[in-house]
């Protein structure tokens, strides 16, 4: 079950919201936990037992770790917990990749039965790690109530597509969120959910069809025009898909009284790749910074070590997205531009006009998404070459008016907040208040977006969930 499915929107969500608000406060977490288990079990009933088992083990190990007086013993429990979580992630997500490449490199013939990947395994593994490490660091004490820990891990709005939430960011909200039970908070959540739903169902799905049409062509049919069309279509698809799911998750969180962290902040208005990564998938970036980059030494090291740290972080960031070489290359690609920013590029872009810096950054990002989208490296490299070859094959690929309209619409929404004034206008949509004269028009517009999105789901018959590999 996914947020953009008819089953979720028509049946699951209204029932859960109604039930949640009818039961007494002491039962609300129980309702969230049970419905989260049901939500996850809908598409993969076997894997819910994997999550439940890991939550039990993690809870007990972290509790035991906290009770240790000697740092060496604490570290021992930390290592055991990390090995269990990362071991499961490796087994399900990466084992086949390494065996396949080992066979290719050595000529061996190790057999490996393909394993179905538990949905969202990277998200809940990373959240488990934040809890484990933060207790070890003394940032917060371990939870005494096991059911509260399960609610944190399994809370369905963020379970399968993020944002990645550190425990201490919502620790108080798990047990005490009555202050968030306000009309303003819940209405803003509803509006934000509908905005995210529209991003996914209207923009991302329509543009995704065009991206698929390009990248499913025979490699010899992809000329300069087709490569750019496919690259731009996918660039907007993944942004509106991912940010749409994040908006829906944050909106649902508000409806249930949780204030989840921001995950996207108009990334395509960035004037450098460094700025892009401050705005794109913010919670993943924060996770990589706190649990990988800083432990490696961060920027408090020599330049050579700094570049090494950036390279490690972005190779692993790419690998986090999927067990395939194209994801690794995408990470290397972005890591290289971050190093170039440190060397000279950022200074150069800052001295130039935004009219130059923003389009340049956007083109770099588009090229990166071409790598990200194509698991066939030959196709990816061919597309990148064609993008700058000015090679046009008449009649091989034709545009349609629907696509042109959606690209224009996607461009408007992607670059709307490019100034402080337009950013403030955008904030009205994301933070609805009854003290605001625009409240009821926004609520009515949100309801309209909800039903328009439903019509797109029914009409298009194209509603991919691109986070199965995550």
Q: Are 200 and 144 in a shared domain?
A: no
Whether the CB-CB separation of 92 and 321 falls below 8 Å is answered with no
Q: Are 57 and 198 in a shared domain?
A: no
Show the domain range for 446.
184-460
Q: Which of 21, 25, 321, 382 is catalytic?
A: 321
Residue 267 confidence (pLDDT) above 90: yes
Number of domains in the chain: 2
Alpha carbon 61 to chain centroid distance?
Answer: 28
Q: pLDDT band for position 394 (50/70/90)?
A: low
Whether residue 1 is contained in a domain is answered as no
Q: pLDDT band for position 397 (50/70/90)?
A: low
CA distance 159 to 412: 30
The mean pLDDT of the chain is 91
pLDDT of residue 371: 95
- Check if 382 is active-site: no
Whether residue 97 is contained in a domain is answered as yes
Query: Model confidence over 74-86: pLDDT tens digits?
Result: 999 999 999 999 9
Residue 463 confidence (pLDDT) above 90: no
Whether the CB-CB separation of 415 and 269 falls below 8 Å is answered with yes
Q: Classify residue 293 by its DSSP letter.
A: I
Looking at 178, 196, 227, which one is the last position of a domain?
Answer: 178
Query: Model confidence over 448-462: pLDDT tens digits?
Result: 999 999 999 998 888
pLDDT of residue 333: 97
Q: Are 244 and 191 in a shared domain?
A: yes
How many alpha carbons fall within 13 Å on the CB side of residue 142?
A: 20
Query: Model confidence over 197-220: pLDDT tens digits?
Result: 999 999 999 999 999 999 998 998
Q: Is 141 left (phi over 0), alpha (psi -120 to 50) or beta?
A: beta
Q: pLDDT band for position 374 (50/70/90)?
A: very high
Looking at 127, 162, 178, which one is the last position of a domain?
Answer: 178
Whether the CB-CB separation of 212 and 466 falls below 8 Å is answered with no
Closest CA to 39 of 58, 62, 20, 23: 20
Q: What six digits make up the tokens of 466?
A: 């691109």
Q: Are 103 and 167 in a shared domain?
A: yes
Whether the CB-CB separation of 328 and 318 falls below 8 Å is answered with yes
Q: Are 173 and 241 in a shared domain?
A: no
Q: Which long-range contacts (CB under 8 A, 24 or more apart) does 438-446 make?
A: 439/187, 442/191, 443/187, 443/190, 443/191, 446/190, 446/191, 446/193, 446/194, 446/195
Whether residue 466 is contained in a domain is answered as no
pLDDT of residue 234: 97
DSSP string, 332-392: HHHHHHHHHIIIIIHHHHHHS-HHHHHHHHHHHHHHHHHHHH-SSHHHHHHHHHHHTTT--
Q: What does pTM read for this prediction? A: 0.94
Whether residue 282 is contained in a domain is answered as yes
Average pLDDT over residues 10-23: 95
Whether residue 469 is contained in a domain is answered as no
């Amino acid at each position: 079950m996914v947020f953009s499915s008819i089953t979720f929107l028509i049946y699951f969500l209204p029932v859960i919201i109604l039930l949640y608000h009818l039961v007494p406060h002491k039962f609300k977490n129980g309702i969230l936990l049970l419905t989260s288990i049901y939500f996850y079990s809908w598409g993969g009933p076997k894997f819910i037992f994997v999550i439940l088992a890991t939550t039990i083990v993690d809870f007990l190990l972290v509790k035991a770790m906290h009770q240790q007086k000697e740092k060496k013993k604490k570290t021992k429990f930390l290592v055991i917990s990390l090995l269990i979580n990362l071991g499961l992630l490796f087994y399900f997500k990466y084992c086949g990749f390494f065996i396949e490449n080992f066979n290719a490199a050595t000529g061996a013939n190790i057999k490996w039965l393909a394993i179905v990947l538990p949905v969202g395994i990277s998200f809940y593994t990373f959240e488990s790690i934040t809890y484990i490490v933060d207790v070890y660091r003394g940032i917060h004490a371990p939870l005494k109530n096991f059911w509260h820990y399960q609610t944190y891990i399994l809370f369905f709005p963020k379970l399968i597509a993020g944002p990645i939430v550190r425990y201490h960011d919502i620790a108080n909200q798990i047990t005490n969120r009555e202050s968030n039970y306000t009309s303003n908070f819940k209405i803003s959540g509803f509006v934000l959910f509908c905005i995210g739903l529209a991003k996914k169902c209207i923009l991302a799905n329509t543009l995704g069809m065009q991206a698929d049409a390009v990248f499913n062509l025979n490699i010899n049919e992809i000329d300069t025009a087709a490569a750019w069309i496919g690259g731009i279509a996918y660039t907007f698809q993944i942004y509106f898909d991912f940010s749409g799911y994040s908006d829906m998750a944050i909106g649902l969180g508000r409806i249930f009284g949780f204030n989840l962290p921001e995950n996207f902040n108009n990334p395509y208005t960035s004037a450098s790749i460094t700025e892009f990564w401050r705005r794109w998938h913010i919670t993943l970036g924060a996770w990589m910074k706190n649990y990988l980059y800083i432990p490696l030494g961060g920027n408090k090291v020599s330049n050579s070590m700094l570049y090494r740290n950036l390279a490690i972080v972005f190779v692993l960031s790419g690998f986090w997205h999927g067990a395939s070489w194209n994801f690794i290359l995408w990470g290397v690609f972005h890591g290289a531009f971050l190093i170039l920013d440190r060397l000279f590029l950022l200074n150069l872009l800052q001295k130039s006009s935004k009219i130059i810096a923003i389009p340049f950054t956007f083109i770099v990002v588009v090229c990166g998404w071409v790598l990200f989208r194509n698991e066939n490296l030959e196709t990816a490299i061919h597309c990148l070459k064609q993008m700058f070859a000015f090679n046009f094959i008449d009649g091989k690929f034709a545009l349609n008016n629907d696509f042109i309209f959606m690209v224009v619409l996607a461009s408007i929404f992607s670059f709307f907040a490019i100034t402080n004034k337009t950013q403030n206008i955008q904030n009205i949509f994301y933070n609805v208040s009854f003290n605001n004269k625009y409240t009821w028009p926004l609520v009515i517009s949100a309801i309209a977006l909800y039903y328009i999105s439903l019509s797109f789901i029914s009409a298009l018959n194209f509603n991919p969930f691109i986070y199965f590999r995550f």
